[in-house]
Structure 1
Amino acid sequence: MNGAAVIRAPELPALLAVVPADTPLGDGLVATAGTWTRDGAPDGARGGARDAALDAARGGAPDGAIDGSRDDAVARFTPRFAAPPGTVYTILARDAATGPWRRFAEVQVPRASVDRSTVVETIDPGVDEIPANLLRFSVTFSAPMSEGGAAAGIQLRDAAGVDLPGALLDMPPELWDRTHRRLTLLLEPGRIKRGLQPNVQAGPPLIEGSTITLVIDPQLQDARGQHLAAGAERVYRIGPPLRSRIDPALWHITWPVPTAAASGAAAVPAADADGATADIDAVRGGAAATLVVRFDRSLDRALCRRYLRVRDSAGRVVEGFATLSADATTWTFVAAAPGIHWSLHVDTRLEDLAGNSVRRVFDRDLSSPADDGITASHVVLEP
């Protein structure tokens, strides 16, 4: 009854009332709150906000009932509050003010149309082989999701399809981004770090040389309460652990090519395949505004968005659009306008798949000088 229940009959009973379908008949009956009308006019005899027990004692109708003893063949009930889709109500009738109630008809609130359109867009890491000390997965959905179902709706399984108990960290609240579309799943850090009791007692969550599958159940619900259009899964091979700091000096960077307009020099013609000449910008297809960084390993996708910035010679952030390859090894920045004298500023909190950052190793060997961290907040790379 999102709208109204309409009762049509050659002759209506003396009294009508609406109750949930499982309501027992008898004394003290409380009808569903709402308004009755007869042939479009509000019924003035019944339906006021009166106490049901008092009405029954006086021989009247409970709150929400209507006197239908006149010759009208149509009555309409509009509930005070919208009912959940699919709810079934019973229309009760009795032929005298003091007679017993009987079931006259049933009405069901129409079910909302099922629109299962939300899907899993990506599962990260986007590589086939992950380090044995992987720190996190992330799942991105096509629409905002509801919260609270990840523990039951996302599983990590071994090659035989058996759940890996305790591999994923049970985290209330769940780690959603601001849009509620990307969910981060942490593996148990205590089992990743060597020497900690969870690691000693239960072993690492992932075993090098094995195969695992991250499974997303289609019963997960989006923010509208609808299940996913389909489930999803991704299979990974477990490679060797990765225990070293990110070193930006190992990255291969292709810097923008200066243009005549940006550098103040005359345009340099270049020969095409047929020997004709063209402006260098056209030949290089926008190379004057593009910076490409190829990392020495896959990095965390969300942190790449946050911790990489291109700045000009005055230290201002260069406006543009950045993309990251599926395997998170190539970062491409296209500026809104060509420029020169750019630098790449790397926040040292940037991490790889195993949680190692530019600043420190996640699972550090205290006896190894190579694992010593740095204190700088940023590393600046220039041509």
Structure 2
Amino acid sequence: MIFFCSILLAGCHEESVTIEQVDYESERPVGITFSTNMDIEKLRVFVGEESQTSVIGVIVGDKGKHHFAPVVPFTEGLTYTFRKNNTEVMASFTIPKRENTGGAELIAIHPKVDTVPENLLKMYFEFAQPMQEVQNALDFISVVNETDGIEIKPFLRLESELWNKERTVLTLWLDPGRIKTDLIPNKEKGLPLTAGKRYTMAIDSSWKSIQGTPLLKKYTKKFYVGPRDDTMPKTKEWQLCMQIEDSVKILLMDFGEPMDAFLAKETIRVYNTGDRQIQGKFNLLENESVLRFVPDEEWSTPKIEVRIESRLEDLAGNNLNRLFDTEVKKDPNQRTPKAVFRIPFEVR
């Protein structure tokens, strides 16, 4: 009987890893959810079953269920393995290839809100695949003032377009010379957008990816133009709170207004009391008015500090130090510029 119980207990505690699912964000494989009774400190992820190429990333979770997030998203079609002590394969998984849809895809147009300020400064176009170099991207984008029934050209046409290095994100500026008051373009043509009017922007489906495949469809974005925004973002008015998700404390920062979608993730960092940056992942919620921060590890200190570079902008290009229009309209009450703004916060 004693011998039988010993065998039974040994079987109950046999170490194992079970793959639950591949996790996606914007259709990219950004993580794997798995369950295990093992000490996760013994586990690492490798490419294939025999290679010595490990995957850099972080495991978070609790009570046997965990999530591994690689620094670089997984590659479709590749097989990965969980290994104990870098050698023994405990489980494997393959990232499925997405079906070839036969076309490129526009993932998002930022800002995502359907009401923008009259002095909106920039728009971002985010694609799932790298896009071809063309004579000018504006040849594929049209904007119609639906209120007056006329086509307009609000964007600044540049010889060197503003793409990220992967050619998946295009930045278009609404003509700053028309947005800044007292400049000649503003006096001659007025603002690119007019408060109280509705617009429809269309992206032509003939625009092609680097592979030569056109967009899946014609994309449109309808939006309404509200009043001009001539106020700077105020970090003192931001609302910070903790939210528990899957036993992990998540930091939420509510700006009280939509912010520049890409600058928000570039300019905000979280530090502990030892002045060490806390690593983690940022993503925007609530039409880019709330920033969500998921730490790679459990919070190691009850007191943290959120640091924000002053170049963070709202949708009108107003940053934490000045209004976008202050180069023309001098503000006598403008405060001494800061490079970084700090918000202390207590983790509870």
Name the TM tier (shorter chain): 0.5 to 0.7
Q: Taking structure 2 as the reference length, what is the TM-score of the superposition? A: 0.66
Percent same amino acid at aligned positions? 27
Whether the aligned pair in 2 keeps the contact of 1:348 and 1:378 (CA below 8 Å) is yes
The 5 Å alignment of 1:183-222 reads 183-222=170-209
Deviation at 1:229, TM superposition (A): 1.2
The 5 Å alignment of 1:249-264 reads 249-255=236-242
SS in 2 for 1:349: coil
SS in 2 for 1:163: strand
Aligned equivalents of 1:122, 1:142: Cα separation in 2: 9
Q: Please tell me the residue identity of whatever aligns with 2:256.
A: D
Runs of at least 5 residues in structure 2 that lack an aligned partner in the other structure: 1-99
Q: Deviations over 1:140-187 (max 9, x none)?
A: 11111012241210122110653203x110012111112211111110
The 5 Å alignment of 1:1-383 reads 116-148=102-134, 149-159=136-146, 162-165=150-153, 167-255=154-242, 284-285=244-245, 289-339=249-299, 340=301, 341-364=303-326, 366=329, 368-370=331-333, 372-383=334-345
Deviation at 1:132, TM superposition (A): 0.2
Aligned equivalents of 1:228, 1:163: Cα separation in 2: 22
Deviation at 1:288, TM superposition (A): 5.7
Change (3 A) 1:373 1:138: farther
SS in 1 for 2:341: strand
Deviation at 1:344, TM superposition (A): 0.4
Aligned equivalents of 2:203, 2:155: Cα separation in 1: 13
Aligned equivalents of 1:203, 1:322: Cα separation in 2: 37
The aligned length equals 241
SS in 2 for 1:363: helix
Q: Taking structure 1 as the reference length, what is the TM-score of the superposition? A: 0.60
Aligned equivalents of 2:128, 2:330: Cα separation in 1: 46
Aligned equivalents of 2:115, 2:287: Cα separation in 1: 10
SS in 2 for 1:304: helix
RMSD: 1.9
SS in 2 for 1:289: strand
Q: Determine which structure has more spread, i.e. the larger CA radius of gyration.
A: 1
Q: Please tell me the residue identity of whatever aligns with 2:229.
A: L
SS in 1 for 2:138: helix
Change (3 A) 1:212 1:310: same
Deviation at 1:374, TM superposition (A): 3.6
Deviation at 1:116, TM superposition (A): 2.9
Deviation at 1:303, TM superposition (A): 0.3
Change (3 A) 1:334 1:224: same
Aligned equivalents of 1:173, 1:137: Cα separation in 2: 16
Identify the structure with the greater strand proportion.
Answer: 2
Deviation at 1:381, TM superposition (A): 0.4
Aligned equivalents of 1:355, 1:229: Cα separation in 2: 32
Q: Please tell me the residue identity of whatever aligns with 1:162.
A: I
Aligned equivalents of 1:366, 1:191: Cα separation in 2: 14
Aligned equivalents of 2:178, 2:275: Cα separation in 1: 42
Whether the aligned pair in 2 keeps the contact of 1:356 and 1:362 (CA below 8 Å) is yes
Aligned equivalents of 2:292, 2:335: Cα separation in 1: 28
Q: Deviations over 1:335-365 (max 9, x none)?
A: 1122222110000000010000012100127
Q: Deviations over 1:23-46 (max 9, x none)?
A: xxxxxxxxxxxxxxxxxxxxxxxx
Deviation at 1:136, TM superposition (A): 0.8
Change (3 A) 1:373 1:236: farther
Change (3 A) 1:291 1:175: same
Change (3 A) 1:145 1:374: farther
Aligned to 1:86: none
Whether the aligned pair in 2 keeps the contact of 1:120 and 1:231 (CA below 8 Å) is no
Q: Deviations over 1:56-112 (max 9, x none)?
A: xxxxxxxxxxxxxxxxxxxxxxxxxxxxxxxxxxxxxxxxxxxxxxxxxxxxxxxxx
Deviation at 1:214, TM superposition (A): 1.7
Aligned to 1:5: none
Whether the aligned pair in 2 keeps the contact of 1:115 and 1:226 (CA below 8 Å) is no
Deviation at 1:369, TM superposition (A): 3.5
Whether the aligned pair in 2 keeps the contact of 1:216 and 1:231 (CA below 8 Å) is yes
Q: Please tell me the residue identity of whatever aligns with 1:163.
A: E
Deviation at 1:366, TM superposition (A): 3.3
SS in 1 for 2:325: coil
Runs of at least 5 residues in structure 1 that lack an aligned partner in the other structure: 1-113, 257-283
